[in-house]
Structure 1
């Protein structure tokens, strides 16, 4: 290897190490901001101890046992009720109050219900999922919220998790109260312009945690949210 090639290799190594250090620093800063945010929302222990969540979203009513993975999805538009476990993908489905006997169709409905749950629960508990496995967090910059308040902007990308792992999000964390107040959705992580920029505010106490109830569009705001530990487990096995 001649001297020019050696010099080029050294420069590449310097650039690589510099970029790696910057990326590590951005990740560490993002993790520190997320840690403050989770404390402000009630603490990750309280979220993990939250047993049951019920809510309505875009024409669906969902019941979720966080501890077992049992889910009930009632789709008003399709007149379907699907009972499943999101971990085992076992369950059953009803259409117009009648049990679906066809195994193939039942399995298709169970997969559809899991995808609904993934989407609808993300619109409800997204801040609590920022440290999930497969979620990449990095610090972008300091920005401003719609009202002019300062916020830390974090970027979220995903490693083969969820239904649409190519998505990207920017979340805006209020510097004063450490709560996410705004989020931007990018269909692809290479996109430079978001598909939407929406509020994430109107925080209310639900059980021992905080949840946000405002997405500006009423249809996209979670409604009738119930968080509790005492519930009838038969809702996950009977129509």
Structure 2
């Protein structure tokens, strides 16, 4: 027995010495940095790379933490549904006393579980949205040199569950964060690295991580099925689509119209082929594969297809079709929908993050009492328009049943006719 205890004591001693060696080898001192304008400028570049404005407008975020804690966060209402084991807490993050606990589906009074839900949320949400919290109240920002490049050191002097923790964000050439180093109370070793590289593009336009890998023993943290969406904005968008009979639009095969009497179109939506005509030129355009397009001058087929003419037709079609069918494109890929209030009424801001000829443009749709768009305000990425209004008027119900506009009026009094608009099968 004595021999057993000697061996056990030896093992404990070896582990203890190993732990001390590991600590001194791995532990890093908290770096020093400079506060001030340069640090804040770097932080702003990081926030812009992350589309921080989209995060502010995000309504709902869902995720899990290591497949143990599950969340549905109504950001604007400061309410989080926190679930684990047989417990669910409807957590009010601003007024904890208003929170509600359910155990096995039964409402129960237990402040300890509610406090536990708060602790879980503070920790687990940080692993999801920490990059968006660098300007939170109680944060200090410092610029630090890391491997010859600027990095951003964030210290949380208050708030959360562990004030005093610091994180050094490592950024790529576009100021997008791909990892951080941690100095926290919960981890005794300073400078432990965690990756922020497995990002997911969400419906609201923000990116969120799906997992992290720590340098400490290769630990991995899964964030589960991450989602972010704007529930109220989506509800309003669906009301618009119903009002303009979007289902009929989806089933419409042919659409014909003109643009200010200068350009004319016949679009086979089913095959996604469109005849684009202007002056003496007609292009049989294949928008999804422009190499298949053909060009006619005075109705004579050109054997050597002029690529500049095809590109011109593609640009024309993208612009001119938008003025006809934009309200039917509210749920296209790369579209972000957010709710706004215009004159105390709900309006829908639509931002195109990809596609078309000018990704980044946004439009605030203003609706009539039946949810049919009556106008929008245009905000172009190039800055040429910042709230410029245009009407969407003289809607017609086409032969196919879809509603389409036939005229627009601009804020300067200018008018744009879509000609004789047709939709049929």
TM-score interval for Structure 1 and Structure 2 normalised by the shorter chain: 0.7 to 0.9
What is the TM-score normalised by the length of structure 1? 0.73
Q: Could you list the per-position Cα deviations for residues 194-219 of structure 1 after superposition, in whole angstroms to 9, with x for gaps in the alignment?
A: 2x211111222112112223312685
Gaps of 5+ in 1: 1-21, 144-149, 232-239
1:45 corresponds, among 53, 57, 67, to: 53
Tell me the distance in 1 between the aligned counterparts of 2:140 and 2:222.
25
SS at match of 1:138: strand
Gaps of 5+ in 2: 1-31, 233-425
Distance in 2 (alpha carbons) for counterparts of 1:27 and 1:170: 16
The alpha carbon displacement at 1:151 in A equals 4.6
Q: Larger relative CO (CA 8 A, sep 6+): 1 or 2? A: 1
Shift of residue 192 of structure 1? Answer: 8.1
**Pair 65,151 (structure 1): closer, same or farther in 2 beyond 3 Å:** farther
Q: Which residue of 1 aligns with 2:180?
A: 183
Q: More helix per residue: 1 or 2?
A: 1
Question: Which residue matches 2:221?
Answer: 220
Computing the radius of gyration from Cα coordinates, the structure with the larger value is: 2
Deviation of the 1:70 alpha carbon: 0.8
Question: Which residue of the other structure, out of 27, 31, 38, is the alignment partner of 1:29?
Answer: 38
RMSD: 2.5
Match of 2:247 in 1: none
Q: State the secondary structure of the residue aligned to 2:146.
A: strand
Q: CA deviation at 1:138?
A: 0.3
Aligned match of 2:91 in 78, 84, 95?
84
Deviation, structure 1 residue 152: 2.5
The number of residues matched between the two structures is: 194
CA contact (8 A) 2:35 2:140 kept: no
Contact 2:43 2:152 in 1 (8 A): no
Q: TM-score scaled to structure 2, two decimals?
A: 0.43
For residue 223 of structure 1, give the secondary structure of its aligned residue in structure 2: coil
Q: Does 1:129 align with 2:133?
A: yes
| Equivalent residue, structure 2, for 1:169 | 167
Tell me the SS of whatever aligns to 1:53: strand
Q: Which residue of 1 aligns with 2:113?
A: 109
2:64 to 49, 56, 59: 56
Counterpart CA distance in 2 for 1:219 and 1:56 is 14
Matched, 1:198 2:200: no
| Structure 2 partner of 1:97 | 105
Relative distance call for 1:126 and 1:151 in structure 2 (3 A) is farther
The alpha-carbon deviation at position 37 of structure 1 amounts to 1.3
Q: 1:27 to 1:223 in 2, by over 3 A?
A: farther
- Secondary structure of the residue aligned to 1:184 is strand
Q: Structure 1 residue 178: deviation in Å?
A: 0.9
Select which of 136, 156, 159 maps to 2:157.
Answer: 159
Residue 61 and residue 128 in structure 1: after superposition, are their counterparts in 2 closer, same or farther (change >3 A)?
A: same
User: Do the aligned residues in 2 keep the contact of 1:57 with 1:219 (CA within 8 Å)?
Assistant: no
Deviations 1:91-133 (A, max 9, x none): 2111223221x3xx2x222222112111111000000000101
2:119 and 2:45 map into 1 onto residues whose CA distance is: 30
Secondary structure at 1:220 match in 2: strand
